[in-house]
Amino acid sequence: MRRPIVLVPACVNQIGAHPYHTAQLKYVAAVADGAHCAPLIIPALGAATDIEALLAVADGVMLTGSPSNVHAGLYGEALLDPSLPLDPARDATMLPLIRAAIQRGIPLLAICRGFQEMNVALGGTLHQAVHDVEGMADHREKKEHTLERQYAPAHRVLLEPGGRLAQILGGATGIMVNSLHGQGINRLAPTLAVEARADDGLVEAYRVEDAIGFTLAVQWHPEWRLSENPDSIKLFSAFGEACTEYQHHR
């Protein structure tokens, strides 16, 4: 039996004189080693994407983090800081693909930017600068720190009792997570249910309520040093099992 195929979005990044489609190694490796699936990187072709062709081979979708932000125009706001990176090609590719994947019941795991873009795809909005919102903590990493420190556990999240995530994590009530984001959920999309919150109230994890398939989105980075974190291993294993299940019953 072949491994389940998991789509992983590419970002558009300028390298030297040319734009490239890129996917960060740690996400691709987490699909292979944590979920035991076959990662398939999909280009950010925007409106030229053949969503049906991609979903016809997909047993899962994993939405990655990225330094780029979802364009605020997609949730009806003006850009507060136009100097921050954007990726309109990824937005145009992934927002429709997310909606189509959920409709088909294809298992979906979303991380950081992916968590934010899924909320926008389903009608939610974002805080463009969480740290500037009254009462909210600063969820950004310190750029001057080593990567090791940037991705180290930074704050606690409290899990929704009886939720999908709490269940995957063996009934845990709270876990420590890393934190590397300037944006965050403002208004949660109507079809989403909160799975975890930070102490300042920011939504840190959600699922699609009444989804046919597995859906889980987290604001933190479980793909970082996956094999050293028992919570991340459980999360990726649960996603991989859902992809295997989908593959068997597709």
Ligand X SMILES: N[C@@H](CCC(=O)NCCCC(=O)O)C(=O)O
Closest residue to ligand X in the complex (CB): 65
In the region spanning residues 116 to 175, those forming contacts with ligand X, defined by CB under 6 A, are 116
| Cβ 140 to ligand X shortest distance, Å | 7
Instruction: Give the pair of three-digit tokens for residue 56.
Output: 């016809």
Q: Residues 182, 213, 222, 240: which binds ligand X (CB under 6 A)?
A: 182
Is 24 a binding residue for ligand X by CB under 6 A? The answer is: yes
Segment near ligand X (CB under 6 A); pick from 15-23, 66-74, 91-99, 159-167: 66-74
Q: Residues 69, 178, 179, 244: which binds ligand X (CB under 6 A)?
A: 69
Is 113 a binding residue for ligand X by CB under 6 A? The answer is: yes
**# of chain residues touching ligand X (CB under 6 A):** 14
Does residue 176 sit in helix, strand or coil?
A: strand
* CA 25 to chain CA centroid, nearest Å: 15
In the region spanning residues 218 to 237, those forming contacts with ligand X, defined by CB under 6 A, are 221
Phi, psi values for residue 230, rounded to 5°: -60, -35
Does residue 39 sit in helix, strand or coil?
A: strand
Is 183 a binding residue for ligand X by CB under 6 A? The answer is: yes
Q: Residues 181, 229, 236, 243: which binds ligand X (CB under 6 A)?
A: 181
* CA 190 to chain CA centroid, nearest Å: 18
Catalytic annotation present for 223: yes
Catalytic annotation present for 112: yes
- Return the number of the residue (110 or 175) whose C-beta is nearest ligand X: 110
What is the dihedral sign for C-alpha 89, 189, 213, 242?
A: positive
**197 contacts 137 by C-beta, under 8 angstroms:** no
**Helical H runs in the chain?**
25-33, 51-57, 88-104, 113-121, 147-150, 164-168, 230-249
Segment near ligand X (CB under 6 A); pick from 88-96, 112-120, 154-162, 240-248: 112-120
- Pair type for strands 11-15 and 18-22: antiparallel
* CA 213 to chain CA centroid, nearest Å: 16
Catalytic annotation present for 37: no
| Residues classed as catalytic | 112, 221, 223
Q: Which residues bind ligand X (CB under 6 A)?
A: 24, 65-69, 112-113, 116, 180-183, 221
